[in-house]
Amino acid sequence: MPLPFPFDFKNPDYVQVFEWRMERLQRIRKAPETLPALRQFYRTNPAQFIIDWGMTTDPRNLDYGLPVTIPFLLFPRQEEWIDWIMERSRNHENGLTEKSREMGLSWTSVGLASALCLFNREMVIGFGSRKEEYVDSTVDPKALFWKVRKFIATLPAEFRGGWDERKHSRFMSVEFPDTGAVIKGEAGDNIGRGDRTTLYFVDEAAFLQRPLLIDAALSQTTRCRIDLSSVNGMNNPFAQKRHSGKISVFTFHWRSDPRKDDEWYRKECEKIDNPIIVAQELDLNYQASAEGILIPSEWVQAAVDAHIKLGIQPSGQRLGAMDVADEGRDKNACSLRYGFLLSDVQEWSGKGSDIYDSVVKVFGLCDDFGADEFRFDEDGLGAGVRGDARAINELREAEGTDQITATPFRGSGRVFYPENEAVPGDNGKPSRLNKDFFANAKAQGWWHLRKLFRNTFRALKGMEYDPDEIISISSTDGK
């Protein structure tokens, strides 16, 4: 029973909540003999305790005419998260939580830890983060232990358990005198180096500097470790665990927050003005947040059926492209485009066949598509495509069938138009030329593809564009 009345998270009425809480508190104070049973209930129902009595703070509320300190009303996904953690704890197993930013999980984890320690004897809960100031600071509200102290201090006296901040709170430690429980904090390489814990939260686990060192330490000091983090690419243990299939994963996407909707997302995208950050911190896209990424995921997604969105039709040459593989794990591929429209992509294994068979298949795909030319990667395995294509064309000529031109592309070769401008100069500096900016033709080709996706993304935002300098990806196979 979260609340006995409807609550609108977008337009909150905290007066009603305060009145409801005050009425309940008056009943408890008139009948204090009910407290032991209530405490016993909260012992295994921490989410309900937070909803009934917890408070949270958000200085940004002043912008909306709301008080900074408000009732802590969990929304459904936060309740589910607490239940999920309780299950992990009962089963003595670890868990991982991936989250969009600004989901209130710091406060939720602090409220859960405080509720458990208030009503469970000798429980020890740990919090760790990569920097000490993120764990404890007496003046910074973003610090986890600032939140712990605030949460306990704003509870009704009946539920504080004799807690006094001056007596029971030290740096990186909060004690609970009635139960002998404690919440402790650690930072950096010291995470997991202290005493054993019942439950341990690792905050922003994807951003730890030496995560493997911490993994080893925590494996010896807790049976239930909960990693929380926003996304930071794939090159870290957090991401690897998340995709391993060996650990329970809880996802906190921004759509789980009833305060947020598509209009909120649109405004956030405009405010952030960086598709990589949006994909990383809002959309939980592990690939988009990887360092050195060339084409943001948002640009690629926007290009799907871009010609339909822009109200234009493709024209020009029909062209194929082939990437050749052998009998190993890599696959052969053939893409087909009509002007700016990528119409179809096919892939197949080379197992049990040879390169010649794959070239024959590409010829057939080009015939079906109406393309009279395809390009192929001549580096490595592709070197044999030229001879196979010549042999196939000789057979086609003998049969009276139109020939298809196979044009080689050598990514390791010299750049095209070496004297042309690659990047304009600024502040009086000269432009960088293609021959100076690109190491080879492959790098130049990838950069050109990036520009096509960027131009398309901008066109869809209403900016002027050249139809010959965009790309559209068909959502359906076809000619």
SS (H, E, C) the chain: CCCCCCCCCCCCCHHHHHHHHHHHHHHHHHCHHHHHHHHHHHHCCHHHHHHHHCEEECHHHHHHCCCCEEECCCCHHHHHHHHHHHHHHHCCCCEEEEECCCCCHHHHHHHHHHHHHHHCCCCEEEEEECCHHHHCCCCCCCCHHHHHHHHHHCCCHHHHCCCCHHHHEECCEEEECCCCEEEEEEEHHHCCCCCCECEEEECCHHHCCCHHHHHHHHHHHECCEEEEECCCCCCCHHHHHHCCCCCEEEEECHHHCCCCCHHHHHHHHHHHCCHHHHHHHCCCCCCCCCCCCCCCHHHHHHHECHHHHHCCCCCCCEEEEEECCCCCCCEEEEEEEECCEEEEEEEEECCCCCHHHHHHHHHHHHHHHCCCEEEEECCHHHHHHHHHHHHHHHHHHHHCCCCCEEEEECCCCCCCCCCCEEECCCCCCCCEEHHHHCCCHHHHHHHHHHHHHHHHHHHHCCCCCCHHHCCEECCCCCC
- Domain boundary among the residues 281, 298, 322 is at 281
Contacts of 108 (CB under 8 A, 6+ apart): 50, 74, 78, 81, 82
Q: Do both 207 and 340 map to the same domain?
A: no
CA count, 13 A, side-chain hemisphere, 406:
23
Q: Do both 252 and 132 map to the same domain?
A: yes
Q: Do both 89 and 142 map to the same domain?
A: yes
- At residue 145, does pLDDT exceed 90? yes
User: Tokens 């068909």 — which residue?
Assistant: 474
User: Terminal CA-to-CA distance of the chain, rounded, Å?
Assistant: 57
The whole-angstrom separation of Cα 363 and Cα 397 is: 13
**Residue 1 within any structural domain of the chain:** no
**Residue 354 within any structural domain of the chain:** yes
Q: Which one, of 46, 48, 53, 66, lies nearest residue 22 by Cα?
A: 53
The whole-angstrom separation of Cα 267 and Cα 197 is: 42
Q: Do both 117 and 257 map to the same domain?
A: yes
**Residue 478 within any structural domain of the chain:** no
pLDDT band at 288 (very low <50, low <70, confident <90, very high): low
Domain that holds residue 379: 306-473
pTM for the model: 0.65
**Residue 336 within any structural domain of the chain:** yes
The whole-angstrom separation of Cα 281 and Cα 88 is: 26
pLDDT at residue 256, rounded to an integer:
93
Q: Do both 179 and 321 map to the same domain?
A: no
Q: Do both 268 and 376 map to the same domain?
A: no
pLDDT band at 318 (very low <50, low <70, confident <90, very high): very high
pLDDT band at 371 (very low <50, low <70, confident <90, very high): very high
From 61-65, 189-193, 205-209, 287-291, the region with the lowest mean pLDDT: 287-291
Q: Do both 264 and 392 map to the same domain?
A: no
**Residue 34 within any structural domain of the chain:** no
* Backbone φ and ψ of 426, nearest 5°: -145, 165
pLDDT in tens, 261-271: 988 888 888 78
In 10 A of CB 190, how many CB atoms?
15
pLDDT at residue 289, rounded to an integer:
54
From 216-230, 268-282, 301-315, 370-384, the region with the lowest mean pLDDT: 268-282
What are the Cα distances from residue 415, in Å, to 93, 209, 390, 434? Answer: 54, 39, 26, 7
pLDDT in tens, 389-403: 999 999 999 999 999
Mean pLDDT in residue range 153-173? 94
The whole-angstrom separation of Cα 175 and Cα 206 is: 29
pLDDT at residue 60, rounded to an integer:
80
What are the Cα distances from residue 144, in Å, to 148, 215, 246, 326? Answer: 6, 21, 29, 54
320, 369 in Cβ contact below 8 A?
yes
Q: What percent of the chain has pLDDT over 90?
A: 68
385, 406 in Cβ contact below 8 A?
yes
- Domain boundary among the residues 281, 296, 317 is at 281
- At residue 313, does pLDDT exceed 80? yes
Average pLDDT, the chain: 91
pLDDT at residue 444, rounded to an integer:
93
From 89-103, 353-367, 413-427, the region with the lowest mean pLDDT: 413-427
Q: Do both 274 and 190 map to the same domain?
A: yes
The whole-angstrom separation of Cα 218 and Cα 225 is: 8
Q: Do both 80 and 206 map to the same domain?
A: yes
- At residue 426, does pLDDT exceed 60? no
- At residue 75, does pLDDT exceed 80? yes
- At residue 195, does pLDDT exceed 50? yes
Q: Do both 244 and 334 map to the same domain?
A: no
**Residue 381 within any structural domain of the chain:** yes
137, 195 in Cβ contact below 8 A?
no
- At residue 427, does pLDDT exceed 50? no
pLDDT at residue 187, rounded to an integer:
92
**Residue 9 within any structural domain of the chain:** no
The CATH number of the domain holding residue 432 is 3.30.420.240
The whole-angstrom separation of Cα 449 and Cα 378 is: 19
pLDDT at residue 305, rounded to an integer:
95
pLDDT at residue 429, rounded to an integer:
55
Q: Which tokens sit at 207?
A: 């951003």
* Total number of residues shown for the chain: 479
- At residue 290, does pLDDT exceed 60? no
454, 275 in Cβ contact below 8 A?
no
- Domain boundary among the residues 248, 266, 281 is at 281
Mean pLDDT in residue range 310-337? 90
Of residues 241 and 278, more confidently modeled: 241
The CATH number of the domain holding residue 200 is 3.40.50.300
Q: What percent of the chain has pLDDT over 70?
A: 96
- At residue 112, does pLDDT exceed 90? yes
116, 78 in Cβ contact below 8 A?
no
> How many distinct structural domains can be found in the chain?
2
